[in-house]
Structures are given as C-alpha cells and as structure tokens.
Amino acid sequence: MEFYFLGTNAGVPTIQRNVTSIALRLLEERRSMWLFDCGEGTQHEILRSPLKLSRLEKIFITHLHGDHLFGLPGLLSSRAYQGGTAPLTVYGPPGLKQYIELSLGISQSRINYQLHIVEHTGGVLFDDGQFRVESALLDHRIDSFGYRIVEMDKPGKLNQELLERYGIKPGPIYGKLKRGESVEVEGGVILHPQDVLGSPKKGRIITILGDTRPCPNTVVLAQDATVVVHEATFLHELADTAYEYHHSTALQAAEAAKAANAGQLILTHFSSRYKDQEQLEPLLEEAKSIFPNSLLAEQHVLLPVPDIG
C-alpha cells in the first residue's frame, strides 16, 4: 500500500505543482489503484508516473470545487484507451452525477466500460470484507468530505512446521484454516485455526481529508489512523486568511493528527504563494513542532504506508 501524489497545490496549478490528486496503490492488496480527487491535468501527471489507468478501480471526490474534479471527464474518457475496461466506481457529493453525465454527454465521449457513480452524504460507502471506506462532512465553503479507509485485520501466518508433523502440505486445507475453519486430519485429530495460526496482522487505517477548517470530524475520521493526509494551505501566521477561505494551516493539521492519536501526518494542498520545496519547509517545521512525525507531500514520490507492529 503506497501513496503517489499527482498534485499537491491548492486552487490553481503552478509550474512546480499540479492541483489536487492522490493515488493509493493497492497492488499487493487487490492489484488495483484508488484515486482521491482528480484536478485538472491529473491524466497528464499519470502519464509521467508508474501508475496505470487500467488498474484504476475507484475514485473518491472530496468536493465539487474545480481544483478537485476538473480532470475527471478527460480521465474517464481516456481510461479505456489505456487498457481500462474493468468496471469503475466514482464516489462523491450530490451533484457529481450531473457533472459527469453532462460533461461526457455534451462532449459525446464514449465510455466502453461500466461506470458507476455513487453520490453520498457520508457514512459507510464500501465494505467488501477486505476494506471499509467511511466518509464524514467537514467544514468548507461547500460540502466537503473526508474519507477513512480501514484495512481489515489479516489472519496470522500458518505454522508450517506443525502442519508438516500432521502430514499436511500446502493446498486446500491451508485455505480452510486461514478462513477460520477447523479441519480433521489423519487419526481423527481436529485442528482448529487458533492451533496453527499466529497472531493476526493488524490492518492499517488511512484518512484522506478534503478541504476544511478545523472541525470535530477531522479528528473522528483520523482517530488512531496509521496515516492522515491533511490539507495545509497556509502557514499559521495566515490563520485568519485560512479561516476566511475555509482552509487549515499546517499547525492546525498537526493539532488534528495529535488529537486523533495518528501515526503519521502528510501535509498537502499548498497555497501557490509557496513557490518551491524550500518555501514549503516552514510549513513542515510548523507541523513538526506539534506532531513530529510529519511529512510534506511531493509530486511523483512514492510514500509507503507503514505496517503496524
């Protein structure tokens, strides 16, 4: 599980940074990729990356401001030309379906794969037993949502040495034990999963927040998260400006991560007044003064999601 940032700027693109889009690569977990927001130019950034649109399974839109979704119609219409024929689901606030259908309809774009559009107002959006995705409303000029991605715990490793003593080789019995089923082996012995499985591997939690002022739901969504991705549009010296425009400062992002007992904080969605990486360093220093395990998102840099334990 890895983050790949395709855009880290707020509002408008600059030469240095594109507007918001975050890829979550789940190659080991489900051989797919999820996308969070799709600002203008996202498909161009994907072409410059190791990411493949053919693996794109889900898109989550935080809110309907242009810097978070103007790249969506182009990406959807181009996906099939890059081998993307599997079904794709797009989640987002009410109004998303009208935007997509109107854009694709007027441009007579042809989508030759199943496209599902799910509008929501928060709650549990998806749960397949491997991952659960929840959403909650934040505090922005329009409805803006954060997403909490919960990876379910995985069964512990099988004690192969013990299984070999019972004459059990890799095969269907291994699968049954991993699924929590008891099995009967030679001699009428009943093996229970807890007899041969190690401790479960704790699943990770990822929180990706849309544009927001500080609000209770940032902490609710980020509670005990392995990684929190939080906007940090301004330095705290511009806290009044951040409040006026319904955004957060780097310091406020760090306060939310600390209050939520998160493991790591990644800052993104930077104002274009901070021209380059050097000018972003003060935002990182500000966040680290409250929450030491903070990082700056950088475009075209892979950031692995840490394992737990």
Cα–Cα distance measured from residue 296 to residue 302, given in angstroms and rounded to the nearest whole number = 12
- Catalytic site residue 67? yes
**Residue carrying structure tokens 């998160």:** 262
CA distance 225 to 217: 13
Q: Hey, is 31 helix, strand or coil?
A: coil
Q: What six digits make up the tokens of 43?
A: 């498909």
Residue (of 221, 206, 211, 212) closest to 265 by Cα position = 206
| Helix/strand/coil (H/E/C) assignment for every residue in 36-101 | ECCCCCHHHHHHCCCCCHHHEEEEECCCCCHHHHCCHHHHHHHHHHHCCCCCEEEEECCCHHHHHH
Output helix, strand, coil percentages for the chain, rounded to the nearest 5.
30, 30, 40
C-alpha count within 13 angstroms, C-beta hemisphere, residue 228: 33
Q: Which residues are annotated as a binding site?
A: 63, 65, 67-68, 140, 211, 269
- Gap between the Cα atoms of 103 and 83, Å rounded: 22
Q: Among 67, 127, 195, 307, which one carries the catalytic annotation?
A: 67
Binding positions for Zn(2+): 63, 65, 67-68, 140, 211, 269
Q: Which residues are catalytic?
A: 67
